[in-house]
Chains A and B, each alone.
Chain A
Amino acid sequence: MTRLVSVAPLVTLRRLFAVLTLCSTIRFIGYGWVDTQILQPNWLFPFDGFEWLPRPNVAGAILLFSGMIFGSCLMFFDRAARLGALIFFICFTYVELLDKCNYLNHYYFVSLIALLLVLIPTRSDRPSVPLFMKWAFKGLLALVYFYAGLAKLHTDWLVDALPLSIWLPQHSSIPVIGPLLAERWIAYAFSWAGAAFDLLAPFALFSNKLRPWFYPILVVFHVLTWVLFPIGIFPWVMILSTTVFFHDDWHHSLWNRLGLPLTRISATEEASHARIGWQFVVVGALFIFQVIFPWRHLFYPGNLFWHETGYRFGWRVMLMEKSGMATFFLQDESGVERIFELDTILTPNQVKMTATQPDLLRQVARKIAATNEGEERIRAEVWVSMNGRRSQLYIDPFEDLSAPVASWAPRNYVLPMDSVIRPAEWDRMRENVRDEKGW
């Protein structure tokens, strides 16, 4: 673990990552998302424990995004790399923490890589690093693939080829392969191959024998996902960062060709060991956390995809087609109810996200309660359709959502997925349940 190895793969990783974060930041700004995702929304829904983060105004947003650009640029250069990574990490993570509605696994991944680049020195003029530092990156990548693969091992994905059966036929107008994508068996083939790919990726990437064969498949796989799904820069992050698994010589020849040759590690260095320092402890702790944290959903019974307790930060990528519609009802002291229309105050993206995520439904309700004094209770009738199932009632429609609840508490107000209540049925039941629940 402490044996010294060449820093070359990490230099490549850092430089490619810097280019990627720079492009990604410019893309984010260019699409006008700073405005639509951060400045325009009336409300933001920060992650639990980060509600105190001041919401940036225009000047703040300019500062944060300049920070990302500046950090990315610094990251490219050896001497400023860790400072650049730190600036980028802080600005980027700050923005991600502002609103759960913007959560993406690949943003989380970018934050983690940036954090590792803060902790781990990757200067090209210091040609050796302890082995564990290289393994920190490889381990994280392997973990992402493997956990993404494990998440696919469930009946919707394997037995019903969902959601790919829904998603793939939408691309039937693509030239050549289009008609094929409409075939049911293709959805099965993609589902099984996708799961196998993710589960095998760590082993194939670590294996010198398999890597040359596997990497082209990896490129094809990610490019295909980039063509078929709106997943932004994620495919490119994975394609570029998995070069860290390549042999040192590949990295040296790459930088030779680009006119930026790296110092080679000396034979004496290669035979020696580094001392175990604070970095070993911190990086090790971070990795162990990464291994354990995605399993927290085991504490919550029921279908994880349905109640989503412990769903985020677990590398569950592109696994479900879930859409919903929430109608909030505000009840005042006299018992009169009125509808609160979400689309008058939330952005379209927030409306979409909140309708299928129970913790967001509660956060919305608390915001409504905080801005509408005199309202006694807030409830919501929410309809959700997941992976091609017909829409059904999602949460207890007579749960007071404005009551504060710990974010880690089991979400008992989410109705079990197998208790299917359809709209017509609910119309007949509503008043009885209302009396029963004392609304």
Chain B
Amino acid sequence: MSDSLITLKFGKNWSSLAGLQFFLLLIVLVVAGCNPDEENDPGDSFDREAFLINTADNLIIPAYQEAVVSAENLCTALYDGTLDDARVALKECAVKWQAVAPFDFGPAMDRGLLSTTNTHPCDSLDVDEDVLTGNLVPGLPSTLDRTGLPALDYLLHKGEWNAERLQHASFLANHLHHELQAVHDGWVEEYRDDFVSRTGTDIGSGLGMMLNAFNRTYEGNVRKGKLGLPAGVFSFTGNPKPHLTEAYHAGDWSVDLLYEAMLATERIYLGGEGVGLDDYLQSLGDVSYGTELDAEIKAQLAAAQAAVLTLEDPLSEYVVTNQPAALDVYSELQALVILLKVDMMSALGVLVTYQDTDGD
């Protein structure tokens, strides 16, 4: 049973282990060093850092900048414009909001930006009360449905426009601006570099956080929140719930906001003009989960956008009078969820886990 190599001396044994491991490492290094073609091979590596930089600098930060400017304009319009000016500014602000909504992680998540600025429907009775008392404390869990865009939507479109309402609307617009500005500053001052440096593959990596938020907001805020809920997909009776429509009181721009959200989804997928998820999938090569999937996602993005354009404002009436047609549009949005959540996530492999646990 004696075996001179493995047994006799503890030290000798381990030095032989170290020697062989060094040898193996050397082989790997040499092979890696001789690897000539790193550029053109379809199965080639994807530069995650370039992807994160593009996402942060060309998508996220500009989106927040525009949202902040639109909120500023809303404040200005309320201060020295007409009610119509304010309504136009509000719509613009709601449009710009759609472009930042998918980035619900980091500073946005820390501040609960999505829920403080756009929890709809708003509680119009509470908003009326706030106009009278002026006691609103925004940002609390209990006041989410009396602040942000939905409360402004109500104030600017329903009831008698008067000085008290104007004052409260200005207060809400300032709060909206303040929140957007804070998240924007969080990105510019600190979080951007942190985000870009997280090139890893775990749940806390830049890509992991971004994809989680992207899928979650598309599924929850866009597909469900903007169409599924009003169209009655989730209700007990199957009846439409028109009052759950986004921008319910304005009435004539709910579809525009949904369409903007679809454009934002596409922009993020494509990475704008730069490195996006489409490049990521293409880098996987000419396989079913690579270029083929990329083509199918692009086709479904187009189909979903086209379907959204068949909807008509006021969406709150459309879901009642044309519920079957609205449900067909919902199916197109749902088909995109499957492609993004199942096929795309599967193609990206172990990269993205929704919760930090071991696997096997």
Contact = CB atoms under 8 A, between A and B. Distances in A.
Nearest to B29: A176
Given A177-B32, A208-B3, A338-B234, A229 B343 contact: no
Interface in A70-124: 102, 104-106
B275 to A, nearest CB: 14
B110 interface: no
A231 interface: yes
Interface in A340-373: 341, 347-349, 351-352
A385 B45 contact: no
Contacts of A212: 3, 5-6, 13, 16
Interface in B56-73: none
A404 to B, nearest CB: 25
A282 interface: no
A249 B7 contact: yes
A208 B6 contact: yes
A162 B77 CA distance: 58
A321 B24 contact: no
A321 B350 contact: yes
Contact of B335 (A37, A229, A427): A427
Interface in A311-326: 317-318, 321-325
A72 B289 CA distance: 45
Given A325-B338, A385-B346, A216 B29 contact: no
Contact of B285 (A184, A216, A383, A424): A184
Given A246-B6, A341-B234, A388 B38 contact: no
Contacts of A173: 45, 47-49, 199
Contact of A104 (B29, B353, B360): B360
A170 B349 contact: yes
Contacts of A294: none
A60 interface: no
B1 interface: yes
Contacts of B16: 212, 216
A86 B28 CA distance: 44
A215 interface: yes
Contacts of B46: 169, 172, 182
A213 interface: yes
Given A216-B24, A250-B13, A390-B293, A170 B201 contact: yes
Contacts of A217: 20, 24
Interface in B248-268: none
Nearest to B239: A336
B309 interface: no
Interface in A130-178: 163, 165-167, 169-173, 176-178
A183 B287 contact: no
Given A213-B20, A336-B238, A348-B354, A105 B360 contact: yes
Size bracket, chain A contacts:
35 or more
B6 A250 contact: yes
B202 interface: yes
Interface string B286-329: 01110011001000000000000000000000000000000000
B35 interface: yes
Nearest to B201: A170
Interface string A230-253: 111110000000000011111001
Interface in B196-222: 199, 201-202
Nearest to B44: A182
B41 A257 contact: no
A254 B10 contact: yes
Interface of B: 1-3, 5-10, 13, 16-17, 20-21, 24, 28-29, 31-32, 35, 38, 41, 43-49, 199, 201-202, 233-238, 283-285, 287-289, 292-293, 296, 331, 334-335, 337-339, 341-343, 345-351, 353-360
Task: Across the A-B interface, give the 9 residue pairs with the lowest CB-CB distance, nearest first.
Answer: A172-B45, A232-B358, A348-B354, A247-B7, A182-B45, A212-B5, A385-B346, A216-B20, A348-B355
24 contacts: A33-B357, A104-B360, A165-B287, A166-B347, A167-B349, A169-B46, A173-B45, A173-B199, A176-B28, A179-B44, A180-B31, A182-B41, A212-B13, A216-B17, A219-B21, A232-B360, A234-B358, A249-B2, A323-B342, A325-B341, A339-B233, A349-B357, A385-B342, A385-B346
